[in-house]
Amino acid sequence: MRLKDLIWVLAIILIAFLVFDKIQEKKEIEQVQEQLTFQKASPEIPETQKKEADLSKQKNTETLFSRRNAITNAVEKVEPSVVSINVIKTKIVRRRLSLFFNFYDEIPYNVKGIGSGVIFNENGYIITNAHVVEGATEIKIILTDNRQFDGEIIGLDEVHDIAILKIEGENIPHARLGTSDDLIIGEWSIALGNPYAFLIKDSKPSVSVGVISAVNRDFAENQDGKIYRRMIQTDAAINQGNSGGPLVNINGEVIGINSFIFSESGGNIGIGFAIPINRVKEVAQELIEYGKIREIWFGFKVQDLNPMLASYLGLKDLDGVLVNKVQENGPAAKAGLKKLDIITKINGLRIKDTADAELAVSDISVGDHLLIEVLRENKKIQIEILAKEYK
């Protein structure tokens, strides 16, 4: 091949290579442009993701609202007013000094206790159980917003196990007191307590939910001299330290003050009892106004019947109590009660013995009326006695 022909061949190959390279470069540019154009002209993916995110947010909001109900609303209403009560009590221990001689001394020591309470008005008055603060030398009150106050005992009713405390401060939250006269068996009940705010650095109360299991549960006087009458029974858990806390209805109103449970093991088995709030209101008013429960004067005394007395009086059974003393010019004498009358009912409650009689008058306050049904010479007589203050 001549040199001239070889040069032409090489030139053609070079031109072909350059043309092919240009074509490939053009194709790559067009592909990039197509990708950019596709990305700009196709917003469906991010828009879909946005719609999905909005839908998810809407579902979460709907779920949140569906979790809110009458119970959560009731808790929100009363929760700020539930307080933790931390007390220090001084106890005296008697110590024997000798093994051979009866020499003793007494040593005081401090005991810490905890309980719960509920603020019931804007002036800082607090309801709790008397057994929570009896004998306390120091009382610390902790609110749900972590504020701490020194608590002052306004008054104690040891018999009914009710105490009124007071704190001084601004913007004090308080609960609304309802009524315990129209409770319905089976309606929701919510027990709140706040005993551990100081111990675990958590000022929020604990909550348990149940129903009103029974009402008007009466208990005889216990070994501490306390009388629990017409108690509210609930299966809402009332645990240790929740004594003095509120029992609340579905409207967020306080209907009782948690007091004690029935349990062989010490744990909750669904049998708890609360003091009806209507009784607490009367006691609170008495304690705030007078600093104590004024002693009532009826002006008569009673005793149990026995077979000999029943036979002498011509009675068919031993039900009722015998009036064995009526004070001259006393409320009972002025109302017409007489010695040897047999009291069979007090304020509608059937009386079988003196324990029933004591229980029947345990809720009576100064100024109340006592409606008594007596048996006199085999005739039933109604007598109304005005309870006066003993002086």
Please report, rounded to a whole number, the percentage of residues in the chain having pLDDT higher than 70.
Answer: 74
72/240: higher pLDDT = 72
pLDDT at 39 over 70: no
Closest CA to 294 of 168, 387, 185: 387
Q: Are residues 160 and 265 in the same domain?
A: yes
Domain annotation covers residue 140: yes
Which position among 81, 116, 157, 161 bears the catalytic label?
161
Q: Evaluate whether residue 337 is within a structural domain.
A: yes
Which of 23-32, 120-129, 148-157, 208-217 shows the lowest per-residue confidence on average (mean pLDDT)? 23-32
Q: Are residues 342 and 357 in the same domain?
A: yes
Residue 384 vs residue 58, higher pLDDT: 384
- 316: pLDDT confidence band, cut at 50, 70 and 90? confident
187 neighbors 212 (Cβ within 8 angstroms): yes
Structural domains in the chain (count):
3
Select from 85, 203, 206 the least CA-distant residue to 144. Answer: 203
* Mean pLDDT, rounded, for 347-372: 89
Shared domain for 273 and 337, answered yes or no, is no
3-state secondary structure of 238: coil
Concatenated DSSP letters for 341-376?
-EEEEETTEE--SHHHHHHHTTT--TT-EEEEEEEE
Average pLDDT for 339-368: 90
Q: Do 156 and 238 fall into the same domain?
A: yes
**With contact defined as beta carbons under 8 Å apart, do 320 and 351 qualify?**
yes
Per-residue pLDDT at 384 exceeds 90: yes
- 243 among known catalytic residues: yes
CA atoms within 13 A on the CB side of 25: 6
pLDDT for 127 equals 97
**156 and 48 in a common domain:** no
CATH of the domain at 336: 2.30.42.10
Q: What distance in Å separates the CA atoms of residue 34 and residue 6, rounded to the nearest whole number? A: 42
Secondary structure of residue 80 in the 3-state scheme: helix
The domain boundary, picked from 268, 290, 312, lies at 290
DSSP secondary structure letter of residue 240: T
Verify that 187 and 133 share a domain, yes or no: yes
Q: How far apart are CA 31 and CA 155, in angstroms?
A: 90
User: Is there a domain that residue 73 lies in?
Assistant: no
Q: What is the mean pLDDT of residues 7-34?
A: 62
Are 256 and 158 found together in one domain? yes
Residue from 301, 300, 299, 303 nearest 353 by CA:
303
Residue 367 lies in a domain: yes
Instruction: Identify whether residues 187 and 228 lie together within a single domain.
Output: yes
Residues 314 and 175 in one domain: no
Rounded CA-CA distance 137/276 in Å is: 28
Domain boundary among 271, 290, 309: 290
Whether the per-residue pLDDT at 103 is higher than 80: the answer is no
Domain co-membership, 230 together with 345: no
Model pTM score: 0.74
Residue 163 and residue 368: Cα distance in Å, rounded? 21
The yes-or-no verdict on residue 41 having pLDDT over 50 is: no
Host domain of residue 324? 296-389
pLDDT of residue 33: 58
Per annotation, catalytic residue among 243, 259, 341, 356: 243
Residue 45 confidence class, pLDDT cut points 50, 70, 90:
very low
Q: Is the pLDDT of residue 111 over 70?
A: yes
pLDDT of residue 14: 60
pLDDT at residue 240 above 70?
yes
Q: What is the CB neighbour count within 10 angstroms for residue 134?
A: 16
Ramachandran angles phi, psi of 78, nearest 5°: -95, -20
Averaging pLDDT over each range in 67-71, 202-206, 243-247, which range is the top one? 243-247
Is 71 among the domain residues? no
Least confident of 86-100, 133-147, 249-263: 86-100
- Is 131 an active-site residue? yes
Same domain, 282 and 300: no
Options 131, 189, 206, 213, the catalytic residue: 131
What's CA 106's distance to the chain center, in Å? 38
- 42: pLDDT confidence band, cut at 50, 70 and 90? very low
**Where are the alpha helices (H) located in the chain, listed in sequence order?**
3-41, 44-67, 70-78, 130-133, 277-290, 307-313, 331-335, 354-360
Among the three residues 246, 272, 290, which one is the final residue of a domain in this structure?
290
Q: Is 211 found in the same domain as 236?
A: yes
The single-letter DSSP state of residue 241 is T
Evaluate if residue 15 carries a pLDDT over 70: no
Helix (H, G, I), strand (E, B) or coil at 118: strand
Instruction: With respect to residue 139, please indicate whether it lies within any of the assigned structural domains.
Output: yes
Residues pairing with 115 in the sheet: 85
**Does 368 score more than 60 pLDDT?**
yes
Q: Is the pLDDT of residue 170 over 70?
A: yes
